[in-house]
Amino acid sequence: MRGSDHDDTTDRTAIGRDGVGTMTTNPSPEEARRQLQAASNASVGSRRDATVHGLATAGLGVLVGAYVAVSEVIDGRGPWDHLALAGYAVLLVALCLVPRGTRSRPRHTRTAVRRASVPTVLLAFAAIFVMNAWGHTVPVAPGYLVLAAAVVAAPLVVAGATIVRGSRR
């Protein structure tokens, strides 16, 4: 628009090759605030994705805790050791594949799972060590097995709850 009163600042967008509007000039402070508010309200993932990741994380904790208790009950009893280990491996693979069906990963999911996995593994080793040392002299009561499973599962269950709760902010 040569020769007219056209002000360059009134035409803020231009259509690029990909058909998407691009900024040609700096936005006004009001426009910048509006764009910043729109960007901060936008959600990359969905609550469904966060729920799937959170439940898979909590399920992993419950699986590890249950394996600790079950392995103590069937310790050295014929083929049950091998069947329990095979079942554990199948469930572990299934739990690891569940989050792959989601479209996004909620923020800080990897960090939460990694930070919770270390105490879970250490608690599992400690529980197995204590139950094996204790179980050679006295059979381990079912209440202690449930307690050991709950303590081992707790870090990953808390991480799963944190992942789900974080999506609702």
**What is the 3-class SS of 67-104, one letter each residue?**
HHHHHHHCCCCCCHHHHHHHHHHHHHHHHHHHHHHCCC
Q: pLDDT digit string (tens) for 119-153?
A: 999 999 999 888 888 766 777 888 989 999 999 99
Q: Does the structure show a pLDDT above 50 at 78?
A: yes
**Is 57 within 8 Å of 160 (Cβ atoms)?**
yes
Query: What's the chain's average pLDDT?
Result: 79
- CA–CA gap between residue 20 and residue 141 (Å, rounded): 66
Between residues 106 and 169, the one the model is more confident about: 106
